[in-house]
Amino acid sequence: MKEHLSDRINNMSTSATLAMAAKARELRNSGEDIIGLSLGEPDFNIPDFIKEAAKQAIDENYSSYPPVDGYADLKAAITEKFKRDNALDYASDQIVVSTGAKQSIANVAMVMLNKGDEVILPAPYWVSYRDIVKLAEATPVIVRTSIEHDFKITPEQLRKAITPKTKMLWFSSPCNPSGSVYSLDELKGLAEVLKKHPDIFVVSDEIYEHINFQGKHVSIAGIDGMYERTITVNGVSKAFAMTGWRIGYIGAASWIAKACTKFQGQITSGANAIGQRATIAALQAPVSKISYMIEKFHSRRDLILTLLGEIDGFKLNIPEGAFYVFPDISSFFGKTLNGIKIKDASDFAMYLLEYANVATVTGAAFGNPDCIRISYAASEEQIIEAIKRIKTAVTGVKELA
Ligand SMILES: Cc1ncc(COP(=O)(O)O)c(C=O)c1O
């Protein structure tokens, strides 16, 4: 039946994170005690003040189609948020609210990219970037970063990757999957390279902005020469534990925002009304209201780094944000564990699922096949138990005969 489907869908890969979660669910349903560390989803409940705003919106009958680009008072709250947290001035006509940051990014791809355009993706990159770029018929140009450079692209690497076809650079900071956070100086270094190429645009995905253990988030749009050509992406899924509410947004030049609104008007008609009303409460609250979650992620980060550091063969950077570790486990390649040959990170992640009952995600899905991604958006007990199981499963490694 595949032949009846479009090339577009046949050429698209299934989201590896969702596929791993589905596999873990299947094993769990068949009675296995699986610890799921594969999903990028906070394990907290939505704060009560946000729930109250949603309940109020239902009672106030927010049930009609909202404006395609978002309610005016939500856009005003986003404008204020950009000023307060990022020192960025985006007027109301520069903001578009969408069905999650994922749709915000897909909108940008659809309205900015043509066939043959190149999009530079520093790897590891967020799992969906590559397929979204391909869906827009553009070409992903993967630039592999190194653990020694904390998985960040250097100005030199960026300079070398640019060709006359380069249209955009997409990256996330804090980064999913590496947890790396770009400093002001590092972003200035990239901006310096881009200065010579005024037609290259940047998607700056800042959805993990608040989950930052250095406490200093920098938006590249605030750097000299970058404002007009940066699309700043954000949303409420991660910091406010609102993944299911599906609200994301962009701040961008008004002509880009207008194009995204036009596109979205034909695809979804806009983001869900109750989620938008709840987002107003989330964004207007002082950031201190969610600091208990950030503190928890920070202590879990320290815990998981300590525990993984005790396992031979796991090479780690120190993630300064988000809620993932991205260990290089390539030292296991070519070895056998419990009789299973490990050729690559996908084998390793599958081995951990079957022999440690722990779900992780292969780094191949993020453009780095030497690593796996482990999410620590889980309780301390789960983290301790999961790493204990992983340690047991990978010790006693025998060389291949
Ligand atoms: C880097 C990054 N960008 C965007 C998204 C999409 O977020 P949303 O839930 O708002 O669609 C995610 C979610 O995993 C992410 O990790």
- What does pTM read for this prediction? 0.95
Residue entry with tokens 């450079």: 149
Distance CA 32, CA 26 (A): 9
Report how far ligand 1's centroid is from the alpha carbon of 331 (Å).
30
For residue 243, give the ligand 1 atom closest to its CA. 9
CA atoms in the 13 A half-sphere facing the CB of 228: 7
**Taken in order 38, 150, 167, 246, is the CA torsion positive or negative?**
positive
What is the predicted pLDDT for the residue at 39?
85
What is the predicted pLDDT for the residue at 9?
92
Report how far ligand 1's centroid is from the alpha carbon of 168 (Å).
19
User: What amino acid occupies position 250?
Assistant: I
DSSP assignment of 83-134: HHHH-----GGGEEEEEHHHHHHHHHHHHH--TT-EEEEEES--TTHHHHHH
What is the predicted pLDDT for the residue at 397?
53
Domains and CATH numbers, the chain: 2-45+290-399 (3.90.1150.10), 48-286 (3.40.640.10)
Element (H, E) at 139: strand 139-144
Distance CA 361, CA 330 (A): 14
Distance CA 50, CA 240 (A): 9
Give pLDDT tens digits along the chain (401 positions). 889 999 999 988 877 777 788 888 888 898 999 999 998 889 899 999 999 999 999 999 999 999 999 999 999 999 999 999 999 999 999 999 999 999 999 999 999 999 999 999 999 999 999 999 999 999 999 999 999 999 999 999 999 999 999 999 999 999 999 999 999 999 999 999 999 999 999 999 999 999 999 888 999 999 999 999 999 999 999 999 999 999 999 999 999 999 999 999 999 999 999 999 999 999 999 999 999 999 999 999 999 999 999 999 999 999 999 999 999 999 999 999 999 999 999 999 999 999 999 999 999 999 999 999 999 999 999 999 999 999 999 986 544 43
Report how far ligand 1's centroid is from the alpha carbon of 176 (Å).
9
Mutation pick for ligand 1 pocket among 39, 131, 176, 366 (CB with most ligand atoms within 8 Å) = 176
**Rama region for 241: left / alpha / beta (φ>0; ψ in -120 to 50; rest):** left
Distance CA 130, CA 138 (A): 10
Report how far ligand 1's centroid is from the alpha carbon of 208 (Å).
9
For residue 247, give the ligand 1 atom closest to its CA. 10
What is the predicted pLDDT for the residue at 16?
77
Q: 126 in ligand 1 pocket by Cβ < 6 Å?
A: yes
Q: 321 in ligand 1 pocket by Cβ < 6 Å?
A: no
